[in-house]
Structure 1
Amino acid sequence: MARGGMCYRLACIVRLDGEALADQTIAKYLNELSILTMLRIQGQASRIEIARYLSVTPATVTRLVNSLIERGLVRDIELSPNPGRPANREPGRPATSVALNTDGAFFFGVEVGVDVLRFALLDLAATVVDSSEMPFHDRMSPDQVAGEIARRVGKLRRDPIYRDSLKGVGIAFPGIVRSDGFVVNLPIVGWRNVDFPALLSEAIDLPLFIENDANAGAFGCVYTDPSLPNTCSLFLKLDAGCGGAVVVDGRLLRGANGTAGEFGHLRLSEDGPLCGCGNRGCLESRIGLSAIAQQFLETSDLSGIELTQLPEHIVEAARGGDGRAIETIDSFVHWLVLGLVSLVNLYNPSVVFLGGPLAKLAEAAIDRISEGIGRGIVTGIPAPTLMLSTLGSYEGAIGAASIAHHHTFDISRVGIIAGR
């Protein structure tokens, strides 16, 4: 969902100088997005560097930068004088660079879990400035969750720091979510067919972006660390469910209705444990938290918090020589490698991220998993780099806020149809 956003399809690079433009307002908007994206990814830059980056004149850059300064999105930074040049030889005004004003905009992200709500606040540089969580014991209804999100957003809007600079809200859900934010099925929390945007439309007067939690986690990993390659990255969230996502050239691969990435339901056999989707032999039925608990404890009747803490307990037990813990990790590695081999063969990613609570098990056997993928994929396909998510337990909330940031201030989303 991209309520309040503007999206355009372009067949060529738009410039403000040179050929006449049908709509200079659009060109100005796109060039401003390009400047903000450049500064977020590359850091501060001189006006000359920006002009070269955009292929426009210095005068055009001056107009664009002045407009962004007036809106509080960028600022000038005075550079230190060159120590090798006498001070009386500095002509004109002091040399400056342009940098993001990190306090110029903020984005609020929420992840809805089985028994926890997690919150993250990102600034204009897509840096986490605050995070918190709200554990609860009884499952919350859609109305209760919407009410708590509205309360948190309202509190931010009453704070003078964020009153005018909070620009968007992202929400991540653990299940199937349509492109328009409609919640189709969240089996883990027991929701079906919930028009969640309608629950918040009157309470929150900000652009609202609703995503699957794996999509959010995947996007957040790439977006908040521009140093990582983003040509094609694959993310697998190892939790009670096993959702996934693919990011191609900075954009989520969504499918026709926005529900792509249900990697947990990749069928590895025709038999095996019954999955929550109704089929047997799904990846999730082999490596989801319930499956791991069943193998290690012979029961999956645990609270959400107990399930989340279980992987770390298994790793500690395995290090102490516990045979059942070692068998559990071995089984997890076996099925995870089978699933990842198929996914790597399909998508040819350069990086595979593993997130969620069960990433603790993956971390304990990361070399075995990487070697297994290398042996199993089709000969000639380069093996991807295998990485653990760098966002920790807040990856869903950070990712949701990142998606809101992306739709508001990032040039890479131009060309995407509004609402996708």
Structure 2
Amino acid sequence: MLPFESPYMELSAKMSIWLNGDLNSKLVRQRNQEQVFSILRANDALPVSELSFRTRLSLSTVKTVLSDLEEMGLVVVKEQGASTGGRRPALYAVNRTAAFVGGVSVGYRYLKCGLFNVDGSLIKMARVPIEDLKPEIVAEVISKTLVDLIEKNGLAKEKVAGVGVSQPGSVDFAGKAILSTPQETLKGTTLWEKLTEALQCHVFLMEDINAHIAAEFELGEAKGYEHWIYLLLGSSESKWGIGLEAVNKGLWIRGERGLAGEAAHMVIRVGGVECPCGRRGCWEAETDPEKLFKNVLEKNGLTVESLEELFLLIDDRRDEKDTQFDAAYNTFIALLGEGIANIIHIFNPEKIFIGGEVVTLGEKFLEELKIKTMSCCLPPYWKNDILELTHIIEDGDVLGAASWVIGHLVFLNFKAY
């Protein structure tokens, strides 16, 4: 029996209650705390009046929330603001060193582990090679790496509030079980159990696409949009993958079991390329650049070790007069455009942010993709600025995994003191 149960199953239930409108006073209070804490994380310091204006909560409610957050140790009075004729108002800010959180990305060849303050600022990052993806080994490497980061930076292990772990594949709503993944040995709850036991803190497993969307939501260009999509093209190191998450009115569209948005297995060519899922013509299988460019690489005696290397090579050769290369590249663009047009027709988003290794191809690739996607879209759905490459490229999955935990500290009954 583990020393405590993860709170995330309860959290999922709470959020479901919130979305369905069946509220209780405790949940309302926690939701208000989360809202105020989120705004303070995005700003240096704010007075009660400004927090009331931004949250649309009453002044008395904001004061109660700030008192709660101060008691948790998450918020401090930073200084006095400018006077407008009476007493100078107190300015509230996040207590950035109140706690620390870990962010982890599990790849095929490497683990990336980061340690962050509660304002999202990075303390230290480490990249560790890994050859054995058995959950016991992965958990051991993650816990050892995080403990090393904690000790080398003179931090207290008991102040680590939680760890978010990103990996390719689908995860249950509670963040405990890996349901499906190309890394077959990691399926199940063993990784969560071993990490929770080793680190003695809250551990939450999440899909890599969810980690990326959390990073985009926190630090990217998505702020200010209500209806947007994050499209991950090229999910990790050496493997091609497609992931999608949709946001509507500021809320993720998760579905009954948290599995919504599986665009990778949308069939775009009946009877096409065989997909590992058992079907044929899936979008992910049809657009796999390793397969599309296989003959080009063999013809020129070229080998690549990763998706990044392949995309850098594609970028270098794009302007050369090579019929076979041009055919492969045009097919890649065409199939991506077909799938994106389907997504636009289904969701009608304000913006689609494109992330992943494909971002290596840059703005020229984006313009070519726009032309193809536009040709596949019905006119009322298309906007010239609907597609955009994300600017959060490096370590976005690690940052996103950590930021998810930071954003939900108030639901973890966390106290810094």
| Interval containing the TM-score (normalised by the shorter chain) | 0.7 to 0.9
Residues 58, 226 of structure 1: alpha-carbon distance in 2 compared, 3 angstrom cutoff: farther
The letter of the residue matching 1:368 is E
Cα deviation, residue 32, structure 1: 2.5
Q: Which residue of 2 aligns with 1:170?
A: 164
In structure 1, list runs of 5 or more residues that go unmatched. Answer: 15-21, 411-420
1:99-141 deviation per Cα after TM superposition (whole angstroms, max 9, x unaligned)? 22222333211111111112233332334443332234x3422
Q: Which residue of 2 aligns with 1:341?
A: 341
Q: Which residue of 1 aligns with 2:144?
A: 151
Q: 2:135 aligns with which of 125, 142, 149?
A: 142
Q: 1:212 aligns with which of 207, 210, 213?
A: 207
* Pairing 1:182-331 to 2, within 5 Å after superposition: 182-187=177-182, 189-191=183-185, 193-195=187-189, 196-225=191-220, 228-239=223-234, 240-298=240-298, 305-331=305-331
**TM-score when normalising by structure 2:** 0.81
The letter of the residue matching 2:327 is E
In structure 2, list runs of 5 or more residues that go unmatched. Answer: 1-5, 235-239, 412-417
Q: Structure 2 CA distance, aligned partners of 1:303 and 1:154?
A: 38
Cα deviation, residue 167, structure 1: 1.7
SS of corresponding position for 2:394: helix
Looking at both structures, which has the greater relative contact order when contacts are Cα pairs under 8 Å and sequence separation is at least 6? 1
Q: Which residue of 1 aligns with 2:415?
A: none
The percentage of aligned residue pairs carrying the same residue is 22
Cα deviation, residue 238, structure 1: 1.6
The letter of the residue matching 1:254 is R
* Pairing 1:73-88 to 2, within 5 Å after superposition: 73-78=74-79
Q: Which residue of 2 aligns with 1:364?
A: 364
1:403 and 2:397 equivalent?
no
Residues 80, 193 of structure 1: alpha-carbon distance in 2 compared, 3 angstrom cutoff: closer
Q: Which residue of 1 aligns with 2:237?
A: none
The letter of the residue matching 1:170 is G
Residues 59, 406 of structure 1: alpha-carbon distance in 2 compared, 3 angstrom cutoff: closer
SS of corresponding position for 1:281: coil
Residues 100, 201 of structure 1: alpha-carbon distance in 2 compared, 3 angstrom cutoff: closer
Residues 149, 252 of structure 1: alpha-carbon distance in 2 compared, 3 angstrom cutoff: farther
Q: Which residue of 2 aligns with 1:387?
A: 388
Cα deviation, residue 43, structure 1: 5.0
**TM-score when normalising by structure 1:** 0.81
The letter of the residue matching 2:8 is R
**8 A contact 2:289–2:332 mirrored in 1:** no
1:122 and 2:127 equivalent?
no
The letter of the residue matching 2:255 is G
The letter of the residue matching 2:275 is C
SS of corresponding position for 1:261: coil
Quote the RMSD (CA, aligned, Å).
3.4
Q: Structure 2 CA distance, aligned partners of 1:262 and 1:194?
A: 20
Q: Structure 2 CA distance, aligned partners of 1:288 and 1:236?
A: 15
Q: 2:97 aligns with which of 97, 103, 115?
A: 103
Residues 382, 124 of structure 1: alpha-carbon distance in 2 compared, 3 angstrom cutoff: farther
SS of corresponding position for 2:381: coil
SS of corresponding position for 1:400: helix
Q: Structure 1 CA distance, aligned partners of 2:284 and 2:56?
A: 49
Q: Structure 1 CA distance, aligned partners of 2:135 and 2:302?
A: 23
1:47 and 2:48 equivalent?
yes
**8 A contact 1:357–1:393 mirrored in 2:** no
Q: Structure 1 CA distance, aligned partners of 2:203 and 2:249?
A: 23
**8 A contact 1:108–1:119 mirrored in 2:** yes
Q: Structure 2 CA distance, aligned partners of 1:220 and 1:72?
A: 24
Cα deviation, residue 382, structure 1: 4.5
Q: Structure 2 CA distance, aligned partners of 1:313 and 1:172?
A: 28
Residues 234, 328 of structure 1: alpha-carbon distance in 2 compared, 3 angstrom cutoff: same
1:37 and 2:31 equivalent?
no
The letter of the residue matching 1:31 is N
Q: Structure 2 CA distance, aligned partners of 1:302 and 1:144?
A: 34
Count the aligned residue pairs: 393
**8 A contact 2:9–2:173 mirrored in 1:** no
**8 A contact 2:126–2:145 mirrored in 1:** no
Residues 257, 362 of structure 1: alpha-carbon distance in 2 compared, 3 angstrom cutoff: farther
Q: Structure 2 CA distance, aligned partners of 1:257 and 1:4?
A: 12
Deviates more, 1:57-66 or 1:338-347: 57-66
**8 A contact 1:2–1:208 mirrored in 2:** no
Q: Structure 1 CA distance, aligned partners of 2:315 and 2:351?
A: 25
Cα deviation, residue 322, structure 1: 4.9
